[in-house]
Each structure stands twice: as structure tokens, then as C-alpha cells.
Amino acid sequence: MKIDGGEMFARMLEREGVKNIFALHGGHIDPIFQACRDHDIRIIDTRHEQAAGHMADAWARLTGKPGVAVVTAGPGVTDIVTGVANAYMDCVPMVVVGGRHGLAEEEKMPLQELHGVPIMQSITKWSRLVRDPARISEYVSSAFRQATSGRPGPVFLEIPADVLSARVEEKEVRFPEIYRPQAAPTPPPEAIEKTLDLLSAAERPIILAGRGVWSAGGSEDLREFVELTGIPVCANGMTRGAVPEGTPLGLGGFFTAGQGIAMAGAVDSMLVLGARLGLFTGGGSGDRSIIPPNATVIQVDIEAGEIGRGRDIQVGIAADCRETLRALTREARKRTWSRKEVWIQKLQEARNTIQAMFADALDPGRRPIHPYRLAHTVGSYVAEGGVLVADGGETFVWAEMAFSARRPGRYLGHGYLGCLGTGIPFGLAAKLAYPEERVAVLTGDGSVGLNFTEFDTAVRHDLPVVVVINNDQAWGMCKHEQEVRLGKERIVGTELGATRYERAAEAFGVHAEFVDDPAGVVPALDRAFASGRPACVNVMTDPDTISPLVQLYTTRMERPWAEHLRKVTG
Ligand SMILES: Cc1ncc(C[n+]2csc(CCOP(=O)(O)OP(=O)(O)O)c2C)c(N)n1
């Protein structure tokens, strides 16, 4: 019997347990569509390849399994570049297959002639062109191995149309079965002992847990270690909520809790788990870093090259975060631990101070609606049993600050690409991953425009996600930056209109709500979630409220910003 490349691809997806792919059709890749149909692999067909990329990215972030995206030759490949770059910057495993003009058509000016590999090389871990039809399955297995091994990341496989559609004898094709390491890298025992010595001697210890903990499947292990040792945790991204926030040991996200840590006083020992030292930790060193310059730092990362970026590290462990947490807990059980109550109390006081700063913003009668209140209200709908996706400039900052994560793996924000437009695609992937849970997307009015047509994908695929627009009638973060830095008269190219986005979304068939009255926020959200359909809730908020982040970066204020703002606001 003869089979084509689409069949080989679909069989390998089955082997990998892939149930759905994200794609936008083109003739060059039709054999893959046909084979997926035959093998009952669901194709989530999007309206733009960028959205297919973001959905595959979010699927991987949520499930820990590589997301698969398939795009056509030429513009299909260029359109997905942003989605791939976003995953690359955050080390998210993703397998992207791109169509290509046939090998036989090279240099004959065929339709959509473009070489995808050189384009993808700088934003993928591994990027290859397949030339031999009989080796497609082998290349697919390599793609999955490359995407998931060591530091994860996106990979790209380019399959020319004539290679994909060529039919070869099945017995000539190898379908690899075992092609991955069976165990993750473990930490050396001496490093575990040294880490525990440092942490047990510390008076003011903190754990900084990045997304690496969640992606290693180590959230439960983190909670166990924290409960045993009584060390407070500040987490980021999908690891937020591994230790429920709002509890004595669950401090919150890097942005807000980092302020609290800085306010509470000098941390003397910090365990950094699966978090790169960059913008989200306030940099490697210096007055904006969450990690004080003279603290003792233990850093754990799957990628040895990340250890010691930007500052000196006392103990560096290049290993899997879950394996390291398990080893730490095993050895920590042999020691006695006492909670540092004075330290925990200080951290609590700092949290209270920050929360008090936004007490007025939360006033349900405040007019116009404060974006912090909107973020807080939306977050409360999904905190216990759902997912929050945040997209936008200041909107993302408000979500970071107002959301209190109770469970891990349920909060998706921006990463190091700072890529607007991820909101709706991320939300759709979340609904696909957790069909029984509520999914809310909180997005800026600027950002929602970037992948707006994905409301159509939500309706066609029956993915009831509630999209809430924080409508400040501007590219708010940019407008406010111009205003603070240069003055109101220098605002240029950053204003938008009082657009009725919900009406445009309604045309795709979603449930639509418009809110400009503070009393209308909760009833509109109630109706949107109760509708059981994808929904667009367009909320007019205060266009003049400037987020602390803009103030921090434009006025070059000293950290912690909370203290600075307290001085400014009295
Ligand atoms: C794709 C992309 N384009 C442009 C930017 C630059 N940028 C950063 S924040 C911002 C404003 C975002 O506006 P909006 O989505 O309305 O959210 P807001 O800041 O008003 O909450 C822009 C344009 C970016 N980060 N990503």
C-alpha cells in the first residue's frame, strides 16, 4: 500500500497523542487536512495564521504538550512569524509545519515561492526542510523531540508540496516509536544540601517561581515544599496560584508582590526556580530588581546558560524544576523548619499597604469605571474555577495587579515579546484545553483589534469565551507615556475612538454587551457568562487613569513604586 506525507504526519500526531491542530488552509498543505480528517484529528481553522500560532502556543503553555500549527506556503509562513516569535521568547514547545512550493518548481516563479527556513531560523530552536517523501515521519519525530527537550521552544518543518503529496510504499517508511529521553535532568545531591543549608539559615527567605515550574509539571511539588519549609512564594505567569495567592505564603505575581517584597525589607536568601532574570524580575541586579544586590541567590533552570544572567549566583543548578523540588522536599523532611512569622507579617503589611492604595478604585460607584476595578471584577469570575487571559498594555498591568490566582496554570499574560493581540487566540485555546471551566479574556481596545476576526473562530468552533474590552479609547500605555514624558500636547498617533466593538463582534454571532455605567459591569458579565456563547463585553473605562508601570518607567522613579506612589498621593 502507498501512503502520502499527510498520512505520515497524521500517524505521527496520533503517536504523540495530538488531538487538535491549529491551521489555515492552502492547496500546498491539503494532504495534511485530508489525513487529519481521516484520523479524527480536529482542525481548528483560524481566520489568520498569527492566531493559529498563538493558539498552538497557548495550548502548549496550558497542557505542557507541544502545540501544532500548520500553515501554507509563502504568506501562510510569514503570517505565523509573530506567533512563533512569541513562543520562542518564552521557551514554549510548538511544532509548526509550513507548506512550500515543490522542489521541482524551484526558481521557476511558482505561486507563493518563498524559503521559510531562513525566515524561521532566528525564532525557532530547530528549522528544517524535508526533501525525501519517505522520511517525513522521521522528521516529524525529530521536530517533537527538538521542541520538548532541554529548554523547550518552537520548531519549524517545511514540506514542499511535491514531497508532501508524493506516495511511497508504506513498508519503506519508518515510524519512530521511542525517540525521547525517559527522565529529566536531576540536581547533584551536594547542591541540594547547600541550598537547604542556605535557606534554613536565612531570616528573610523568598522563593521566586517562574513559569518553568509549571511547565516542568512541578506546581504541586512547589506547594509541598513551601508548606514544609514555610518559605513565602512570589510567582509568575502560569505558576501563579501554585500556592494560592492571598494566603500568608502565596504573595502574588512578580510585579505587585515584588513591590511588597522590596517594601518589606532586605531579602537575605532567594531561591529562583525556572525564572529568567530579566524585565519580569526587575532585571538581574540594580535598584529595580526584586532580588536585592547582597542577597544569597540559588538559581535553578533547565538551561545552564540562564544561570547567572546579569548578577552573581551563589548556587547554580542546571536541572529540571520538578526534579529539583522533589529532591529538596525529600531532603528537607530530614530537617526541622520553623516559619519566619515576623518576616511573613512584614510581607503581609506591605501587601495591605499596596491594596489600600487601590481601595478607592474599587468603589463600585466610581465614575468613570476605573480599569483596576474592571480587572478585579473580571478576575473574580474566574479566580476559583476558570482561566484569565490578559492582553494589552496597561490592561495587562491592571490584570497582573488585581488578579489573585488560586490555582496554577490558569493565568495567561504577556511574555518577553510583549506581543499585543494574543488575547482572543489564547482564550480560545484555554477553552479548548479546559472546556468545563470559565474563560475570560481581558483586553485593551487597541489589542482586541489585532485578532478581532477570531470571534468568528470562537463561534464556528463553539468556544464560549467571554472577551471583556477595557475601552479607554486609546493605545493607553503609549498615550500615557507620551503624556507623562512630554505633556498632553505631545499626544500623537495613540488615540482611538469610542468604538462600539461589541456591535462588530455581534456580526460574527457572539453575545454582545455595552457598559458605560459602573452599575452595569456585574450584570453584563453575569449575562455574558450565562449566555453559554462566545461574548464581547465592551466596557468604557477612565481614559485618564495612568498605571503604576507607566509612571515607574517614564519618571524613572526609584523602586519600590508603591512607596513612591504613596508619597505622591500622600
Ligand atoms: C503587536 C504590538 N504592537 C505594538 C506594541 C507597542 N505597544 C505596547 S503597549 C501598547 C498600547 C496597548 O493599547 P491597548 O491594547 O488599548 O491597551 P491599554 O494600554 O490601553 O490598556 C502598544 C501599541 C506591542 N507591544 N505589540
Catalytic residue among 112, 348, 355, 473: 112
DSSP assignments along 3-40, one per residue: E-HHHHHHHHHHHHT--EEEE---GGGHHHHHHHHHTT
Cell of 508: 460574527
| Per-residue confidence (pLDDT) for residue 570, from 0 to 100 | 39
- Is 84:94 a contact under the CB 8 Å cutoff? yes
Ligand 1 atom nearest residue 371's Cα: 21
Cell of 86: 512569541
445 CB under 6 A from ligand 1?
A: yes
446 CB under 6 A from ligand 1?
A: yes
Q: How many CB atoms are closer than 10 A to CB 281?
A: 24
> Residue 564 and residue 404: Cα distance in Å, rounded?
23
> Residue 282 and residue 288: Cα distance in Å, rounded?
5
549 CB under 6 A from ligand 1?
A: no
- Is 420:66 a contact under the CB 8 Å cutoff? no
- In eight-state DSSP terms, residue 541 is B
483 CB under 6 A from ligand 1?
A: no
Distance 478 CA to ligand 1 centre (A): 7
> Residue 382 and residue 406: Cα distance in Å, rounded?
10
* pLDDT tens per residue across span 389-435: 999 999 999 999 999 999 999 999 999 999 999 999 999 999 999 99
* pLDDT tens per residue across span 224-264: 999 999 999 999 999 999 999 999 999 999 988 888 887 77
> Residue 463 and residue 532: Cα distance in Å, rounded?
9
**Phi, then psi, of 177 in degrees rounded to 5:** -110, -40
Catalytic residue among 203, 418, 532, 558: 418
DSSP-derived 3-state class of residue 135: helix
415 CB under 6 A from ligand 1?
A: no
Amino acid identity of residue 431, one-letter, is K
Ligand 1 atom nearest residue 418's Cα: 25
Amino acid identity of residue 198, one-letter, is L
Q: Give CA separation, 227 vs 223, 252, 310, 345, 410, in Å.
A: 6, 16, 31, 17, 21
Catalytic annotation present for 418: yes
pLDDT tier at 551 (50, 70, 90 boundaries)? confident
pLDDT tier at 555 (50, 70, 90 boundaries)? low
DSSP-derived 3-state class of residue 205: strand
- Is 57:89 a contact under the CB 8 Å cutoff? no
- In eight-state DSSP terms, residue 493 is S
Residues 358-362: what's their mean pLDDT? 90
* pLDDT tens per residue across span 431-459: 999 999 999 999 999 999 999 999 999 99
Q: Are strands 296-301 and 233-235 parallel, antiparallel or unpaired?
A: unpaired
474 CB under 6 A from ligand 1?
A: yes
83 CB under 6 A from ligand 1?
A: no
Catalytic annotation present for 385: no
Strands (DSSP E) contained in 217-341 are: 233-235, 250-253, 269-273, 296-301, 315-318
Cell of 284: 538581574
Distance 372 CA to ligand 1 centre (A): 17
Cell of 440: 475570560
472 CB under 6 A from ligand 1?
A: yes
542 CB under 6 A from ligand 1?
A: no
Q: Are strands 168-169 and 2-3 parallel, antiparallel or unpaired?
A: antiparallel
Within 13 Å, how many C-alpha atoms sit on residue 138's CB side?
Answer: 10
Element (H, E) at 51: helix 49-63
| Per-residue confidence (pLDDT) for residue 569, from 0 to 100 | 44
Ligand 1 atom nearest residue 398's Cα: 21
Catalytic residue among 6, 26, 49, 393: 49
Of 391, 478, 495, the one to substitute when testing ligand 1's pocket (max ligand atoms within 8 A of C-beta) is 478
| Per-residue confidence (pLDDT) for residue 563, from 0 to 100 | 66
392 CB under 6 A from ligand 1?
A: yes
Does residue 279 have a pLDDT over 90?
no
Distance 472 CA to ligand 1 centre (A): 12
Ligand 1 atom nearest residue 391's Cα: 15
> Residue 110 and residue 108: Cα distance in Å, rounded?
6
- In eight-state DSSP terms, residue 158 is E
Catalytic annotation present for 112: yes
Q: Three-state SS string across 379-406, please?
A: HHHHCCCEEEEEECCHHHHHHHHHCCCC
Q: Give CA separation, 306 vs 91, 315, 422, in Å.
A: 12, 13, 26
Ligand 1 atom nearest residue 477's Cα: 19
- Is 212:278 a contact under the CB 8 Å cutoff? no
pLDDT mean across residues, the chain: 94
Question: Cell match 499626544: residue?
Answer: 491
- In eight-state DSSP terms, residue 66 is P
Distance 518 CA to ligand 1 centre (A): 25
Catalytic annotation present for 49: yes
> Residue 24 and residue 504: Cα distance in Å, rounded?
23
| Per-residue confidence (pLDDT) for residue 566, from 0 to 100 | 58
